[in-house]
């Protein structure tokens, strides 16, 4: 029989070799120095092997205990290997395992921050209560109880997001043979309705002109001033502007190509630049260019401008969160451009909203860039007119 001293003294050789203990237990010593416990047994006339772990994580005493547990299963006419496979399969069918598998698969088509937020919601609110349960055993009332606990923390919108995203996970589980139905469909009308609060945005033409004049008068870091002036002209998402890099711009072609990795929907996006936008960027280029971030952080040029920099600038200009937000430039542009009669498809393309109809999406990707160029220049000219009109207001 083996002893700890014998095991520690065993040296790796060119080929694997065995150190035998008792009643089917032995250690396999590999050329790389790893030492694996194995249990040899017979079941229904066939010789089989069961792995019992790696030494020293599993010491000799524990290896013998695991061997004895396996021998008791054999005596009860239960195959230890089959039992282990069944247990692993059960773990793969838990709500958490299926959810992680699905989120990992979908994360390839999402911005990293979006995928991280989705996983964090599940880790915070659902995995602790339902994660270890086989997904096929979870009932609608149990799931509703978990979501209502989220509501009781004042997170109504989060509860609705979790129900919707869990529906995708249940449907994936159906497709992969791990459950029979999507129980979240029964909860569609069971949650407290969400009161939608849009991003605050100024849409009155006179007020827009006043905002633009306030931006022109703002005095701060040059990159912040330029970002404020550029934001209404390009109306991209805040993170897309903050993290812009000079390598993405071709000022001679008046074009900004944002790579897919930085877009919410993980699809590359083209922003045609008006003459006014090009002028702002050319003035900024000697300050923060020609490489790196267009709008670097105040303390560290190797990092982008902070998420709160432009919001703070708006507050210093006297605009409250109920009047105007950084994200509100998109709402401002969308509202005004639709009122001016530009084709909704062109506006949606420029806002980088995903087209749900696959045929229209393919069409839109191939065409309409010229229309978008004209629209962006018209939009910049319109903003200039509003700013001039309010000079005497």
The structural domains of the chain, with segments of one domain joined by +, span 4-89, 95-187, 205-389
237 is catalytic: yes
The correct CATH number of 4-89 out of 3.40.50.720, 3.30.565.10, 3.30.160.390, 3.40.50.300 is 3.30.160.390
CA distances from residue 164 to 112, 180, 181 in whole angstroms, order as listed: 20, 18, 15
Q: What is the pLDDT along the chain (393 residues), one digit of tens a residue?
A: 889 899 999 999 999 999 999 999 999 999 999 999 999 999 988 999 999 999 999 999 999 999 999 999 999 898 888 888 776 766 678 899 999 989 888 887 666 777 788 889 999 999 999 998 899 999 999 999 999 999 988 888 889 889 989 999 999 999 998 899 999 988 988 888 765 444 445 667 888 888 888 888 888 889 999 999 999 999 898 889 999 999 999 999 999 999 988 887 778 899 999 999 999 999 999 999 889 999 998 888 889 988 788 888 888 888 877 677 777 788 888 888 888 888 888 888 888 876 544 444 444 454 588 999 999 999 999 999 988 887 655
Catalytic residue among 264, 303, 315, 368: 264
95-187 adopts what CATH topology? DNA polymerase; domain 1 (1.10.150)
Alpha helix locations (H) across the chain?
4-9, 60-75, 80-92, 95-106, 112-125, 127-130, 140-151, 156-175, 205-217, 222-234, 238-242, 275-288, 309-316, 328-339, 344-350, 358-366, 369-389
CB atoms within 10 A of CB 80: 21
353 is catalytic: yes
* 205-389 is a CATH 1.10.443.10 domain: yes
Catalytic residue among 23, 72, 353, 360: 353
Contact 11, 44 (CB under 8 A): no
264 is catalytic: yes
Q: Which of 72, 383, 365, 125 is nearest to 234 (CA)?
A: 383
Q: How many whole angstroms separate alpha carbon 317 and alpha carbon 323?
A: 12
Per-residue confidence (pLDDT) for residue 265, from 0 to 100: 73
Catalytic residue among 64, 121, 242, 330: 330
Q: Which of 205, 206, 375, 218 is nearest to 310 (CA)?
A: 218
365 is catalytic: no
Catalytic residue among 18, 85, 153, 363: 363
Catalytic residue among 327, 368, 373, 382: 327
Q: Which of 378, 362, 371, 380 is nearest to 344 (CA)?
A: 371
């Amino acid at each position: 029989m083996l002893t700890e001293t014998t095991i520690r003294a065993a040296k790796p050789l060119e080929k694997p070799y065995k150190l035998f203990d008792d009643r089917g237990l032995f250690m396999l010593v590999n050329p790389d120095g790893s030492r694996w416990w194995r249990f040899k047994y017979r079941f229904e006339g066939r010789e089989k092997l069961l792995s019992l772990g790696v030494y020293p994580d599993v010491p000799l005493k524990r290896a013998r205990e695991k061997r004895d547990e396996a021998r008791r299963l054999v005596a009860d006419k239960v195959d230890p290997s089959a039992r282990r496979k069944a247990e692993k399969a059960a773990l793969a069918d838990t709500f958490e395992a299926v959810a992680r598998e699905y989120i990992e698969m979908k994360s390839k088509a999402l911005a990293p921050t979006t995928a991280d937020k989705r996983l964090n919601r599940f880790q915070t609110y659902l995995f602790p209560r339902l994660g270890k349960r086989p997904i096929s055993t979870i009932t609608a009332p149990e799931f509703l109880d978990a979501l209502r606990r989220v509501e009781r923390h004042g997170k109504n919108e989060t509860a609705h997001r979790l129900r919707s995203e869990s529906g995708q996970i249940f449907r994936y589980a159906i497709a992969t043979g791990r459950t029979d139905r999507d129980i979240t469909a029964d909860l569609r009308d069971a949650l407290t309705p969400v009161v939608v609060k849009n991003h605050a945005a100024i849409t009155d033409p006179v007020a827009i002109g006043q905002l633009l004049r306030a931006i022109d008068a703002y005095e701060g870091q040059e990159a912040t001033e330029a970002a404020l002036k550029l934001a209404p002209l390009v109306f991209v998402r805040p993170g897309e502007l903050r993290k812009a890099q000079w390598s993405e711009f071709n000022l001679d072609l008046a074009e900004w190509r944002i790579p897919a990795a930085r877009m919410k929907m993980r699809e590359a996006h083209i922003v045609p630049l008006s003459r006014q936008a090009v002028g702002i960027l050319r003035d900024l280029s000697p300050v923060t260019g020609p490489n790196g971030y267009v709008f670097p952080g105040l303390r560290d040029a190797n990092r982008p401008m902070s998420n709160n920099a432009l919001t703070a600038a708006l507050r210093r200009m006297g605009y409250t969160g109920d009047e105007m937000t950084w994200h509100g430039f998109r709402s401002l542009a969308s509202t005004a451009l639709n009122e001016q009669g530009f084709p909704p498809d062109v506006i949606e393309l420029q806002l980088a909203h995903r087209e749900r109809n696959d045929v229209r999406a393919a069409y839109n990707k191939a065409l309409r860039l010229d229309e978008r160029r004209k629209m962006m220049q018209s939009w910049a000219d319109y903003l200039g007119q509003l700013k001039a009109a309010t000079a005497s207001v």
